[in-house]
Each structure stands twice: as structure tokens, then as C-alpha cells.
Amino acid sequence: MKKFLLSAIFISLAALSFIGCDKKSDSTVKTQGTDSRHTIKVGYVQVGHESAWRNANTLSFKSTFTADSGYEFLFVDADGSQKVQFDAIRNFIAQNVDYIVLAPVVETGWDDILKEVREAGIPVILSDRQIKVSDESLYLCWVGADFLQEGKNAVKWLTAYLENKNLGTEEINIVHLQGTMGASAQVGRTQGLMDGIASYPNWNLAAQKSGNFTTEGGKKAMQEIIKSVGINKINVLYSENDDMTLGAIEAIKEAGKVPGDDIIIISFDAVYKAFMKIITGEINCECECNPLHGPRVGEIIRTLESGKPVEKIQYVNESVFDHTNAQAVMLTRRY
């Protein structure tokens, strides 16, 4: 009964926080500003709709860049394709937008297209994942999470957890579900774990597979790992986003084990469906990754419109949650 009530509270709060937002992930959504003199035309190229985090991120932008707030908002959901992102950017250049906001699918391959944008004289704001370019002036600024720090937070949590369970010197076999390979969220979270394993001789990387940040991908990868490693040999699951974690939990249960008890579960994002599992004990640690970039990017554009400079790199604030602190903030969660 308690679980049902908790779920009902979460779902109604989440629904309330997104009221009035368009839930569609249309390929192009266009809204006309109310006052043409001050309408700011923003072209936003989103990664896709692969995860609950991504959908919360999209809704955050759609609820910020509204016609009532003086924007004409062009939205493209690239469905995980960098080529679609390139095409969308060229289309935004042709439509002469005032700003291009880009959430890059992967870190590499952006030099040429961003040079085209620079020739068109359109500023580029990066949101969420980062890029590796030969010339950092190809984009104006970036707002997002420190993915390496998120990985370090997870390792720090696991170290303390094992110490508290008197397992600090025991052999610990860790299976690792990676996100979309080459995405900076995957690169940073993987580095955090690898650095941790390198510093603890009793931590072993038992298996490593990409689930591409999706629930289906996480379940399939975990099933393959269970087959190759053996469910009884797995002590910890380090999963680089909640959607993969939810799929992996299904696979762990199908193998007859109790997630959060037989296997320590560490996950990233802290979206409410997974956050609930801290309360029920199926997930031990959630490393938050704040998806609510819309207001921050809106603030950046307003600052630029007023002729003021903006910081090049802007990290969002994030926390780590487990059974000691999740309950207290459960009702304040906004995604």
C-alpha cells in the first residue's frame, strides 16, 4: 500500500510540474512569439527521446521557450542521429534563427558544421553533453553536468558503503553498463569508475557493456553479462543511467536475485521512477544529473540579448541520494 501511495504522490507531482507542456516529440515544433519586434528565434537540436531524463530535459526547454515569453521555438528531436543533427542545424541556418542550442549526441565530428554556423553569424549554445573541437570559439558557451564528478561521487559513495558493511577489503566484482558510446556522459562516468577500480586492488571489473542509455538496452546487456559472469559472482552494478538500470533490475530479478540487496545498485540521473526505487530499496545510490537546462539556457539568451557576456562553462548543481536522504526530498523532486 505504501509503495502505491508513494507512486501516486510522485506521479501527480511530476504531472503538476509539467502541466501545459507539449508532450509530443515532434520533429519540428514551431511557436510564433506574441510581439514580433522582440521575438527571439531559437533553433534547438535535441539528442532524441531515449530516456526519462531526456524527456524531462525536452519538457524543460519547451516550457521555457514559449511564445508568451517572446520566443519562436524550432525543435528537432534527432532520435540519436548526429546526421539528423547536422541537417537540423543547416535548416536553422536557412531559417536565420537568432540562436542555435545543441545537445550533441556524441563528442566528436562537430568542427565542419559549426564552421558553417559561424559563417552564418549565429551563436551556438551547447546544452547537456560536451564536444571536442579544434577551436573552442566555435561555440559560445556550454551548460550541463560534470560527468566525471558524477562518476567520482559514485565511487566515493561505494567506498563508504562497503566500509560501513565491513566489506572494504573484500573482493568486489563490479559489472558496468555504459551509455551511448562516445557521449560525454558515458565518457565521464566511465572514467570515474575506471579511476576508482585503479585505486582499489580488491575492486574487479567483471564485465562492461553498453546499453545505449535505454531500458531495453540495459536489460539485454545485463542478461548477457549474467550469462557470461554468473549471477552469483556479481556484487555491484554501476549503470550509467536510470533507464538502463530499470532494465537491468528486471534481468536481475529474472535471475532470482534481489536488486539492492544481493547486488548493490548504483545508477545515474535520479529521475523519479528510479528515485522511488531508493525508497523501496531496489536501488542503493542515485547520482543526480539535473535535466532542467531550459531555464538556464533562457537566462543565458536573455543575458546575451542585454549585451552582457556569459560564462563559457556553466555546471548545473547535483546531489547524491541513498536511503539516508532520499525520503526527505522525495516530495520536492521535479523530474
Residue placing its CB nearer to ligand GZL in the complex, 41 or 189:
189
Q: With respect to ligand GZL, which residue has the nearer C-beta, 123 or 291? A: 291
Choose among 266, 249, 265, 206: nearest CA to 230.
Answer: 206
Q: What are 29's strand-pairing partners?
A: 75
Residue among 144 and 196 whose Cβ is closer to ligand GZL = 144
Residue placing its CB nearer to ligand GZL in the complex, 50 or 72: 50
CB-wise, 178 or 235, nearer to ligand GZL? Answer: 178
Where does the chain show beta strands of DSSP type E? 40-46, 71-77, 99-102, 124-127, 141-144, 172-178, 203-210, 236-239, 264-269, 285-288, 313-315, 320-321
Q: Which residues contact 10 (CB under 8 A, 6 or more apart)?
A: 272, 273, 275, 276, 330, 333
Min separation Cβ 240 and ligand GZL, Å:
7
| Amino acid present at 39 | T
Task: Give alpha helix (H) positions in the chain.
Answer: 2-17, 52-62, 82-94, 111-119, 147-164, 184-199, 215-229, 242-254, 272-280, 294-305, 326-329
For residue 171, the minimal CB distance to ligand GZL (Å) is 29
**Which residues lie near ligand GZL (CB under 6 A)?**
50-51, 53-54, 128-129, 144-145, 183, 185, 213, 241, 243, 268-269, 289
DSSP 121: T
CA distance 79 to 163: 42
Q: How far is the CB of 49 from ligand GZL (least distance, A)?
A: 9
Q: Smallest distance from the beta carbon of 149 to ligand GZL, in angstroms? A: 12
Closer residue to ligand GZL (CB): 78 or 162 = 78
Nearer to ligand GZL (CB atom), residue 257 or residue 273? 273
User: Residue 162 and residue 1: Cα distance in Å, rounded?
Assistant: 32
Minimum gap (Å) between residue 67 Cβ and ligand GZL: 27
Task: Kindly state the smallest distance separating residue 145's Cβ from ligand GZL, in Å.
Answer: 5
Between CA 296 and CA 182 the distance in angstroms is 25
